[in-house]
């Protein structure tokens, strides 16, 4: 798939997820075969950019792939300014968030709340596209609620405004992350625009990836929650798309290596205190099985990097002994 001057080497993209797709996670997914990893959402309001959280999200040193930065907001001028600023900081693609269903974002009439106002959508898209010389992409949901699925209308506005590609999550804002994603709207969007369309939502297995591509006709897939604790899902999906066969499950030795590397990178980015806290959710995703509940409960009590790494080492040592 082509996004402006960038030819992606496959059809697999990492979805932007606040509090998840930081640089360590993005780089892991890229090494496991994702063609593009979009950064965490950054609000367009410059008043909050001086926080540690914003500075880390805007840091691109050490990025292993194309630098795609997602911005969110409801004011066209602020969004244009945020786009220019991030390009100056090294962003190669600007992604606009009109898909986030979170209340704290929607109450500012940003994220998926914008789908209620197609006229404002157009103003924002026009302003951002005009503000920068890099490709601008857009992420949306299928609509505000199941009775108002206006994804096709928004997609047509995006195409008219010069958006380079469009990612669509197969749920409305009202659906949040409940129920099953629906792909009929994504299929209709693909049939009504000529820009690349990326399908997103409930893509957690190679078989589902194949089905969604075939059913929607989408140009690519965007994978979010399915990659949490499973950065290798991109390798698994690509192998299945290429061969029709499934890879063997990731072995303990590889999982151990990945988890320890991930921990080290988190400590390096955030510092030990914050890194230890952020590591808890990631390790929980890696080991998200009933028989490992006690491990996660104990891990979440640890307060140092050394203790966390040591506990992961012991866990896998015991797995070897048990086998």
Residue 151's closest CA among 190, 178, 181? 190
Question: Whole-number mean pLDDT of the chain?
Answer: 91
Enumerate the known binding-site residues for FMN: 16-18, 70, 139, 200-202, 224-225
The whole-angstrom separation of Cα 229 and Cα 287 is 8
Over range 186-191, report the average pLDDT. 98
Q: What share of the chain is helix, strand, coil (3-state, %, to 5)?
A: 50, 15, 35
Q: Using alpha carbons only, what angle is made at residue 73 by residues 145 and 160, rounded to the nearest 5 degrees?
A: 75
What was the pLDDT predicted at 262? 97
What would the pLDDT profile of 247-263 be if each residue is shown by its tens digit?
Answer: 999 999 999 999 999 99
Which stretches does DSSP call E strand in the chain?
2-3, 6-7, 12-14, 36-43, 68-72, 93-98, 136-141, 165-169, 197-200, 220-223
The whole-angstrom separation of Cα 76 and Cα 157 is 15
Q: What is the SS3 assignment for 72?
A: strand
Identify the helix (H) or strand (E) that includes residue 191. Answer: helix 184-192
Sign of the Cα pseudo-torsion (65, 41, 75, 126, in order): positive
The dihedral region occupied by 131, where left means phi > 0, alpha psi between -120 and 50, and beta the remainder, is alpha
In this structure, the dihedral spanned by the alpha carbons of residues 62, 30, 26 and 276, taken in order and rounded to 10 degrees, is: -90
What was the pLDDT predicted at 268? 94
What would the pLDDT profile of 139-170 be if each residue is shown by its tens digit?
Answer: 999 998 889 899 999 999 999 999 999 999 99
Q: Which of 42-51, 77-86, 230-239, 249-258 has the lowest mean pLDDT?
A: 42-51
For residue 43, pLDDT beyond 90: no
What was the pLDDT predicted at 173? 85
Over range 210-237, report the average pLDDT. 97
Q: How far is CA 92 from CA 81, 85, 114, 235, 237, in A?
A: 15, 12, 25, 24, 26
What was the pLDDT predicted at 175? 84
Phi, psi angle pair for 165, to nearest 5°:
-160, 155
Are the beta carbons of 110 and 146 closer than 8 angstroms? no
The whole-angstrom separation of Cα 234 and Cα 34 is 6
Structure tokens at 167: 């990612």
Question: Which residues form the catalytic set?
Answer: 100
pLDDT range class, residue 60, cuts 50, 70, 90:
low
């Amino acid at each position: 798939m082509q996004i402006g001057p960038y030819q992606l080497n496959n059809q697999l993209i990492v979805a932007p997820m606040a509090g998840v797709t930081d640089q360590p996670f993005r780089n892991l997914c890229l090494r496991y075969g994702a063609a593009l990893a979009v950064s965490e959402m950054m609000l367009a309001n410059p008043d909050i950019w001086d926080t540690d959280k914003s500075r880390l999200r805007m840091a691109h040193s050490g990025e292993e792939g194309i630098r795609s930065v997602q911005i969110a907001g409801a004011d066209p001028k602020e969004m244009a300014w945020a786009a220019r600023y991030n390009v100056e900081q090294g962003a190669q693609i600007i992604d606009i968030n009109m898909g986030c269903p979170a209340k704290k974002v929607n109450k500012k009439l940003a994220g998926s709340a914008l789908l209620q106002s197609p006229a404002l959508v157009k103003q924002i898209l026009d302003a951002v596209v005009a503000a920068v010389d890099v490709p601008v992409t857009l992420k949306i949901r299928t609509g505000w609620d199941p009775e108002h699925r206006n994804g096709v209308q928004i997609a047509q506005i995006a195409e008219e405004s010069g958006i380079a590609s469009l990612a669509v999550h197969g749920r409305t804002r009202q659906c949040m992350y409940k129920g099953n994603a629906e792909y009929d709207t994504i299929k209709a969007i693909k049939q009504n625009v000529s820009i690349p369309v990326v399908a997103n939502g409930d893509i957690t297995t190679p078989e589902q990836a194949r089905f969604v591509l075939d059913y929607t006709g989408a140009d690519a897939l965007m994978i979010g929650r399915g990659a949490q604790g499973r950065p290798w899902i991109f390798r698994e999906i690509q192998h299945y798309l290429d061969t029709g066969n499934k890879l063997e499950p990731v072995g303990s030795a590889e999982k151990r290596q990945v988890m320890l590397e991930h921990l080290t990178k988190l400590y390096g980015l955030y510092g030990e205190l914050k890194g230890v806290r952020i590591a808890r959710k990631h390790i929980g995703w890696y080991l998200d099985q009933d028989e490992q509940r006690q491990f996660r409960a104990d891990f979440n009590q640890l307060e140092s990097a050394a203790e966390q790494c040591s506990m992961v080492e012991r866990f896998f040592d015991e797995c070897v002994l048990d086998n």
